[in-house]
């Protein structure tokens, strides 16, 4: 039997297309319908800066901006006028991030999630249920287009707990998979060990994670493996585990840390030549991720296309803030614009090559993403995530 449409499969008590007391034809449109850039940006500015619907956080910020978002912000490029506010998310009360327009409705908040803490104390975001529904429908469509296996067991060796990554994997398996197996990962502990010069403890922790993954891979028929590049490299260094993955796992999705081009080429051509590898690049600060572009050869740059216009990238010269030429490297700036949240003009810890987006998309695509050595005043430590 064919599967039900993604919008139907994302139903249920927690994930549904909610009615709203302040309904907007753009922001509350069908979850599988993508608005135009200008439609979305203008509707979001009205929502987030109307005293009746905006969050306490953004309504407080409005007086400090020096412009009126409802009058002056119309496109993704205009979002560069906003200050980068994400460092304030380390300390702001999470309840102040919820738009007032959701008041009086049940089951509007899906969860509160933290960043990985790579650049300091974790930043915190609130994910609304309507955004999670939209994201899952989009993710499901991406996976259909890339022939992700259906009805198989998944193993996620990845952060859960306060991290949005784990929630997305859990809901995705509910939509597409059979059984979900997990090995929890605390990226902050590894980074803390590395920062303190305790490399041996970090290695022991990574070995502990691999040992747990081994137990699942040896005893279960895992069809999809989700993990990070550092942990994938540790897994396939063990010849027995490499054979298990090669024989049983049909697709490996990697993300959470960068993978250099040489490693990606080696994994795809020699280490796991018959297992599909798909990269995913994301950030808690965009409440989403970007999947690897279809049809890339093993020696092509690994290109990621964003979920525009809700999530967009720009690749800029960090000194001037201006876009670098296509094919040149610069710093990644991320934007998230939806009914759920407004997180504009966030200069990320990553650099990448600027790539033209696919037809019909806005913003930039990014390739060969890698972390900068220092972000602000702190060294960037990826660890295992």
Whole-angstrom distance, CA of residue 288 vs CA of residue 279? 14
Which domain, by its residues, includes 162? 131-379
- Is 309 domain-assigned? yes
Res 205: pLDDT: 87
Pairing of strands 251-255, 276-283: parallel
Res 249: pLDDT: 98
Count of helix runs (H) and strand runs (E) in the chain: 11, 15
Block residue for tokens 């006028």: 81
- Is 48 domain-assigned? no
- Is 144 domain-assigned? yes
- Is 81 domain-assigned? no
Please give the biggest Cα pair distance in the chain.
Answer: 61
- Is 204 domain-assigned? yes
β-bridge mates for residue 21, sequence order: none
pTM across the whole model: 0.90
* Structural element, H or E, at residue 342: strand 342-355
- Is 188 domain-assigned? yes
- In order, the DSSP letters of 79-148 are GGGS---GGGGGTS-GGGGS-GGGTT-SS-EEEEEE---TTSSPPEEEEEHHHHHHHHHHHHHHHHHTT-
Q: What count of Cα atoms within 13 Å lies in the side-chain half-sphere of residue 369?
A: 29
CB 228 within 8 A of CB 186: no
Res 200: pLDDT: 83
Whole-angstrom distance, CA of residue 321 vs CA of residue 219? 51
Three-class HEC string of 156-211: EEECCCCCHHHHHHHHHHHHHCCCEEEEECCHHHHHHHHHCCCHHHHHHHHHHHHH
Whole-angstrom distance, CA of residue 329 vs CA of residue 22? 42
Domain count, the chain: 1
Taking alpha carbons only, the member of 140, 134, 176 closest to residue 33 is: 134
CATH number at residue 289: 3.40.50.12780
β-bridge mates for residue 124, sequence order: 114
Per-residue pLDDT 10s for the chain (385 aa) are: 445 445 545 544 344 444 456 789 999 999 999 999 999 999 999 999 999 999 999 999 999 999 999 999 999 999 999 999 999 999 999 999 999 999 988 789 999 999 877 667 889 999 999 999 999 999 999 999 999 999 999 999 988 888 898 899 999 999 998 999 999 888 778 778 878 888 888 888 889 999 999 999 999 999 999 999 999 999 999 999 999 999 999 999 999 888 999 999 999 999 999 999 999 999 999 999 999 999 999 999 999 999 999 999 999 999 999 999 999 999 999 999 999 999 999 999 899 999 999 999 999 999 999 988 655 555 555 555 4
- Is 199 domain-assigned? yes
Whole-angstrom distance, CA of residue 283 vs CA of residue 271? 28
Cα-Cα-Cα-Cα dihedral sign, residues 129, 134, 140, 143: negative
Joined tokens for residue 38: 């200008």
- Is 371 domain-assigned? yes
């Amino acid at each position: 039997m064919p599967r039900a449409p993604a919008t139907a499969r994302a139903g249920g008590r927690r994930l549904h297309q909610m009615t709203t007391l302040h309904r907007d034809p753009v922001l509350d449109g069908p979850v599988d319908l993508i608005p135009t850039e200008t439609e979305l940006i203008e509707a979001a500015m009205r929502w987030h800066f109307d005293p009746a619907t905006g969050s306490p956080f953004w309504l407080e910020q409005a007086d400090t901006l020096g412009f009126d978002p409802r009058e002056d912000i119309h496109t993704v490029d205009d979002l560069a006028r906003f200050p980068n506010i994400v460092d304030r998310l380390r300390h702001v009360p999470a309840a102040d991030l919820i738009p007032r327009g959701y008041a009086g409705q049940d089951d509007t908040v899906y969860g509160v999630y933290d960043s990985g803490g790579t650049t300091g104390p974790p930043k915190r975001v609130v994910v609304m249920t309507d955004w999670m529904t939209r994201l899952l429908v989009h993710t499901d469509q991406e996976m259909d287009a890339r022939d992700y296996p259906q009805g198989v067991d998944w193993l996620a060796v990845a952060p859960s707990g306060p991290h949005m990554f784990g929630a997305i994997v859990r809901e995705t398996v509910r939509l597409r998979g059979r059984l979900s197996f997990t090995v929890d990962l605390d990226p902050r502990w590894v980074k803390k060990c590395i920062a303190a010069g305790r490399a041996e403890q970090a290695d022991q922790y990574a070995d502990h994670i691999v040992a747990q993954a081994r137990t699942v891979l040896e005893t279960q028929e895992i069809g999809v493996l989700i993990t990070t590049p550092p942990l994938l490299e540790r897994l396939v260094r063990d010849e027995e585990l490499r054979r298990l993955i090669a024989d049983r796992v049909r697709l490996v999705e990697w993300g959470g840390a960068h993978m250099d081009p040489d490693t990606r080429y080696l994994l795809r051509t020699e280490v796991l030549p018959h297992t599909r590898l798909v990269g995913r690049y994301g950030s808690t600060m965009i409440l989403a991720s970007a999947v690897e572009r279809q049809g890339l050869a093993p020696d092509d740059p690994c290109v990621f296309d964003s979920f525009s216009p809700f999530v967009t990238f720009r690749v800029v010269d960090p000194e001037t803030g201006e876009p670098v030429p296509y094919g040149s490297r610069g710093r990644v700036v991320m934007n998230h614009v939806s009914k759920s949240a407004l997180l504009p003009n966030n200069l990320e810890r990553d650099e990448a090559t600027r790539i033209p987006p696919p037809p019909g998309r806005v913003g930039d695509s990014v390739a060969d993403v890698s972390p900068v050595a220092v972000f602000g005043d702190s060294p960037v430590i990826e660890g295992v995530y």
